[in-house]
């Protein structure tokens, strides 16, 4: 029985996700970034998060070998930045509004939240790797607006109503 990879990907797209940009140091440029929708918390004690990256990506070695990375949770106004850093070959941060971090890799300005993480481990999992980071510092910016979400291959945003 053949496994329908495209069908599997489409079915996974039925799960709406938030969007984040990961930044890290790179040798040939000061910093690189990549858009991900695989970010999640792992543990509160110690504070750990994870995200996944395709091991075939040219950006993979930079993130897998980096001592740490910065996570920027995107607001709906970050759609163009997200699309740019999701494309192959588009990994520099030139022209993107950034803010400095203590860790080094910058965060995206106007992010909903920022997490500065030391690399805890890298685990191979099929054609991807799972990068686990220990959160050293974080900040939340409630005034940044609605989150950018991804659903069925398209960007969207959540309404900012009061919770029920």
Read off the CATH number of the domain in which 133 is found: 2.30.110.10
**Cis bond upstream, residue 65 (ω within 30):** no
Please state, in angstroms and rounded to a whole number, the distance separating the CA atoms of residues 131 and 22.
Answer: 11
User: Rounded mean pLDDT of 2-18?
Assistant: 88
Q: How confident is the model at residue 28 (pLDDT cuts 50, 70, 90)?
A: low
Higher pLDDT, 131 or 10: 131
Q: Enter the pTM of the model.
A: 0.90
Residue 35 inside a domain? The answer is: yes
Tell which residue, 156, 163, 15, has the closest CA to residue 76. 156
Residue 95 inside a domain? The answer is: yes
Residue 5 inside a domain? The answer is: no
Q: Quick one: pLDDT at residue 133? A: 97
For residue 52, give both structure tokens.
Answer: 């996944």
Residue 114 inside a domain? The answer is: yes
Higher pLDDT, 10 or 101: 101
Residue 1 inside a domain? The answer is: no
Q: Quick one: pLDDT at residue 160? A: 61
Residue 151 inside a domain? The answer is: no
Residue 107 inside a domain? The answer is: yes
| Main-chain dihedrals φ then ψ at residue 11, nearest 5 degrees | -65, -40
Q: Which domain holds residue 44?
A: 18-146
Task: Reduce the DSSP state of residue 70 to 3 states and report it.
Answer: strand
Q: Quick check: 134 pLDDT over 60?
A: yes
Q: Quick one: pLDDT at residue 138? A: 97
Q: Quick one: pLDDT at residue 164? A: 46
Q: Quick one: pLDDT at residue 163? A: 52
Q: Tell me the pLDDT tens digit for each residue of 75-119.
A: 999 999 999 999 888 788 999 999 999 999 999 999 999 999 999
Q: How confident is the model at residue 161 (pLDDT cuts 50, 70, 90)?
A: low
For the chain, helix (H) and strand (E) counts, in that order, are 3, 12
For residue 17, give both structure tokens.
Answer: 């996700």
Q: What is the mean pLDDT of the chain?
A: 90
Q: Of all residues in the chain, what percent carry a pLDDT higher than 70?
A: 92
How many structural domains comprise the chain? 1
Q: Quick one: pLDDT at residue 51? A: 97
Residue 163 inside a domain? The answer is: no
């Amino acid at each position: 029985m053949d496994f329908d990879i495209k069908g599997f990907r489409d079915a996974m797209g039925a799960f709406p996700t938030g969007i984040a940009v990961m930044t890290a140091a790179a040798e040939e440029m000061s910093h690189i970034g990549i858009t991900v929708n695989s970010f999640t918390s792992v543990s509160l004690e110690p504070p750990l998060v994870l995200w996944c990256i395709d091991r075939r990506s040219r950006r993979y070695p930079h993130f897998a070998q980096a001592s740490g990375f910065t996570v920027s949770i995107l607001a709906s106004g970050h759609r163009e930045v997200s699309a740019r850093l999701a494309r192959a070959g588009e990994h520099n941060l030139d022209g993107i509004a950034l803010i400095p971090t203590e860790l080094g890799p910058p965060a995206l300005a106007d992010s909903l939240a920022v997490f500065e993480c030391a690399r805890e481990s890298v685990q191979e999992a099929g054609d991807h790797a799972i990068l686990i980071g220990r959160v050293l510092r974080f900040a939340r910016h409630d005034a940044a607006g609605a989150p950018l979400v991804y659903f069925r291959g398209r960007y969207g945003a959540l309404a900012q109503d009061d919770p029920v």
